[in-house]
Amino acid sequence: MAVIDELVEASRQHRLNFTGGQLPMPPRRRVAIVTCMDARILPSRILELDIGDAHVIRNAGGRAADAVRSLVISQELLGTREVAVIHHTDCGMLTFTNESLRAKVKSDLGVEGSSIDFLPFTNVEQSVRDDVGLLRASRLIPIDIPIRGFVYDVHSGALTEVV
Amino acid sequence: MAVIDELVEASRQHRLNFTGGQLPMPPRRRVAIVTCMDARILPSRILELDIGDAHVIRNAGGRAADAVRSLVISQELLGTREVAVIHHTDCGMLTFTNESLRAKVKSDLGVEGSSIDFLPFTNVEQSVRDDVGLLRASRLIPIDIPIRGFVYDVHSGALTEVV
């Protein structure tokens, strides 16, 4: 059985117990979270987010460069007023370089991946500082939106503010 | 009190009850979910995903174009073997056009946003078909990776396969 079939089956149970169907589109708590796709990160559990509370933007590394389009929509159209960038320890982005992944893509898939910046990093606190800096400097993010950066420790469950 | 301060406070409670600190980096169920940042979507609740199960990639609309970088990392380095693209009813992406949002960005922020494609859509089933098609056609996604597309109904809690 494909894993996705198991997820579809799980969603049937979810539907039976579903509440929250009348919630509006804008996030109730007016906050956007930018974090990694990592399987050990469950934002709703870590931050006690309920249905309808917050926008959650996730990609490999929780990189801000991939999140600007979404943040403009979140702020301009749906009223969010704070941003938290959360990277984490033991992140996959610490395990490769653009050169090594491009070589692997070429070897495995026969594709020259040299046009893609996979946005790896070598230090998770520095990547948080870089990404918060990118957003604070962006003219597409209003100057009065607080942007704060954190590291989540996947081994201890602790969230630590970096910037 | 800033909302982010409330989230930090919530994370302290999470840490006290935390289990799962020994989980490895690769997702246990070897699946990647691509879905929208919408506040009404809690993937872990809808799909009964536990900590460590799945990569979750989220952006405005759940658009595949924003997810390719992350999916390459997910598949090439962390072993995921299935992809589910999940868009949803009552999505913010149905409420604007590139032209209208660029005009609002210019009016609100004084920035010419004309270089950004905000990736809006006018039909949620078609956007799922488009994005599954984009990933199936991508040479960066192995041909043997199943890619399936769904619409989640935020009013009923139902998940329906489209493609």
Question: What type of residue is B118?
Answer: F
How far is C-alpha A124 from the geometric centre of its chain's CA atoms? 14
Among B3-12, B58-67, B107-116, name the one with the lowest average pLDDT. B107-116
Give the whole-number percent of chain A exceeding pLDDT 90. 97
As a whole number of angstroms, the distance between CA A122 and CA A100 comes to: 14
Q: Is the pLDDT of residue A113 over 70?
A: no
Q: Does domain A25-92+122-162 have CATH number 3.40.1050.10?
A: yes
Closest to B59 measured CA to CA, from A79, A74, A113: A74
How far is C-alpha A152 from the geometric centre of its chain's CA atoms? 12
Q: Is the pLDDT of residue B29 over 90?
A: yes
What digits encode the pLDDT tens for the residues A16-28? 999 999 999 999 9
For residue A131, the distance in angstroms to the closest alpha carbon of chain B comes to: 16
The domain locations on chain A are 25-92+122-162
Read off the pLDDT of each residue in A86-104 and give the average, rounded to a whole number: 97
For residue A115, the distance in angstroms to the closest alpha carbon of chain B comes to: 11
Which 3 state secondary structure label does DSSP give A102? helix
- N-to-C CA span, chain A: 45
Q: Is the pLDDT of residue B114 over 80?
A: no
Q: What is the per-residue pLDDT for B112?
A: 82
Q: What is the per-residue pLDDT for A1?
A: 81
Q: Is the pLDDT of residue B86 over 90?
A: yes
Q: Is the pLDDT of residue A120 over 70?
A: yes
Identify from A16, A22, A28, A73 which residue to disrupt to test chain B contact, counting B C-beta atoms within 10 A and taking the largest count: A73
Q: Chain A residues with CB inside 8 Å of B11's CB?
A: 46-48, 157-159
Read off the pLDDT of each residue in B11-33 and give the average, rounded to a whole number: 97
Among A113-117, B2-6, B52-56, name the one with the lowest average pLDDT. A113-117
Q: What is the per-residue pLDDT for B113?
A: 63
As a whole number of angstroms, the distance between CA A149 and CA B50 comes to: 25
Contact A77, B38 (CB under 8 A): no
For residue A153, what is the enclosing H or E element?
Answer: none
What digits encode the pLDDT tens for the residues A46-86? 999 999 999 999 999 999 999 999 999 999 999 999 999 99
How far is C-alpha B37 from the geometric centre of its chain's CA atoms? 6
Closest to B42 measured CA to CA, from B126, B152, B160, B161: B152
Q: What ipTM goes with this model?
A: 0.98
- Report CA torsion sign: B57, B90, A77, A18: negative
For residue B37, the distance in angstroms to the closest alpha carbon of chain A comes to: 5
Cα–Cα distance list, B45 to A18, A62, A119, A152, B63 (Å): 10, 21, 29, 21, 21
As a whole number of angstroms, the distance between CA A93 and CA B140 comes to: 18
Q: Chain B residues with CB inside 8 Å of A95's CB?
A: 77
Question: What type of residue is A57?
Answer: I
Q: Give the A window 76-135 contacts with B, CB below 8 Å.
A: 76-78, 82, 84, 90, 92-93, 95-96, 101, 104-105, 108-111, 113, 116-119
User: Of A29, A44, A118, which is closest to B3 when you measure between CB atoms?
Assistant: A29
Contact B112, B60 (CB under 8 A): no
Interface contact A69-B55, CB threshold 8 A: no
Q: What is the C-alpha radius of gyration for chain B, rounded to an integer number of angstroms?
A: 18
User: Of B2, B55, B77, which is closest to A146 when you measure between CB atoms?
Assistant: B2
User: Of A30, A66, A158, which is closest to B3 when you measure between CB atoms?
Assistant: A30
Q: Give the A window 55-74 contacts with B, CB below 8 Å.
A: 55-60, 66-70, 72-74
As a whole number of angstroms, the distance between CA A129 and CA A89 comes to: 15
Give the whole-number percent of chain B exceeding pLDDT 70. 99
Per the prediction, chain A carries an average pLDDT of 97
Q: Is the pLDDT of residue A114 over 80?
A: no
Question: What type of residue is B89?
Answer: T
In this structure, the number of other CB atoms found within 10 A of the CB of residue B26 comes to 15
Interface contact A101-B42, CB threshold 8 A: no
Structure tokens at A97: 């370089």
Per the prediction, chain B carries an average pLDDT of 97
As a whole number of angstroms, the distance between CA B148 and CA B95 comes to: 25
- How many contacts (CB atoms, under 8 Å) link A and B? 259
